[in-house]
Chains A and B, each alone.
Chain A
């Protein structure tokens, strides 16, 4: 759900990072936080367990710049990937404008990726959304690790619709801004259709 304020001339949009536990969602936000100028970002808020697993969500507000005199802000959220946090994931998806699905490229995580993607579809459907209709991209993360599935294989399993995809190594930032930009662009173009 975007918030367009003609009075303060601001556009606010919500992008959610989705994916299985430990796939690197929080790491994406941490890298974006680290590499953004202080005046362009707010605090990175992480509601996490003591072992740094996301408990409820991470939140990072980004003010990237202006378009036609309107300040454009993206509110980035991550969901908790662990299976038993299903109820929280639903809440965080509410009012989403764009989704980034972060997949773990390690072969042994392929089933977890597929389960998480199903979970995403179900949760979006409950809100009357569909991944096919939503600004959406996939990031194949952890490409630096030794036992990873080939990208073609992952596309077959996780990207049957052939949406935009990126390879990522989140701790060093490979693919991180590219993925965000991919979805941010789709979100703005979607708004353009309506306003």
Chain B
């Protein structure tokens, strides 16, 4: 639980966003998403207006989880790349550092080769950022520090009750 929570601050988010924007552009992709392995959308780049990003995140994570389950049955470690080809658009899904899922949706303007190449570069950069986040979280845990602007610091029963009004 608390041990595996993902806490992201603004500067980290900006770095991730920058990587996704770059990948979106360089891969000629329609949309690029970063999803937590548990199905929560972390960030996206490109035209997401016509896409239900929350559902997409959850289903992608389910997809990765299911193929991961299959891999274990076969004695494989994990399939790190999934690719689905559609009539118009294609989807390239890759697992980064065992923790996050990078999703690239692309059409005729791009190609699988290009996407593969660009994803590989972006994956390295993203893996580094998530390593930083993880080691920072580890450090904070040791120090027992709580973030100064934590929304939880003064949370009251009333705050919670208000959510269900």
A133 to B55, CA, bound (A): 29
- Chain A residues whose C-beta falls within 8 Å of the C-beta of B71 in the assembled complex: none
A70 to B155, CA, bound (A): 11
Return B123 CB to nearest CB of chain A, in Å: 20
A88 to B14, CA, bound (A): 35
- Chain A residues whose C-beta falls within 8 Å of the C-beta of B114 in the assembled complex: none
9-residue interface stretch from A6-14, A21-29, A113-121, A149-157: A6-14
Cβ proximity bits A40-55 to B, threshold 8 Å, 1 near / 0 not: 0011010100000000
Instruction: Give the dominant DSSP class at A's interface.
Output: mixed
B8 adjacent to chain A (CB < 8 Å): yes
Whether the pair B69, A87 counts as a contact (CB closer than 8 A) is: yes
Q: What is the interface size of chain B, counting residues whose CB is below 8 A from a CB of the partner?
A: 44
Cβ proximity bits A67-79 to B, threshold 8 Å, 1 near / 0 not: 1111010010000
A42 to B18, CA, bound (A): 27
Size band of the interface chain A makes with B: 35 or more
Q: Which 7 A-B pairs have the closest CB atoms?
A: A7-B13, A95-B38, A70-B151, A68-B151, A194-B2, A91-B65, A192-B152
Kindly list 13 other residue pairs between chains A and B, CB separation below 8 angstroms, not including A3-B40, A56-B62: A1-B5, A4-B5, A6-B7, A6-B9, A7-B13, A43-B54, A67-B151, A91-B69, A95-B36, A181-B164, A184-B160, A192-B152, A195-B7
Residues of B within 8 A of A (CB): 1-2, 4-10, 12-14, 36-40, 42, 52, 54-55, 58-59, 62, 65-66, 68-69, 146-147, 149-155, 157, 159-160, 162-165
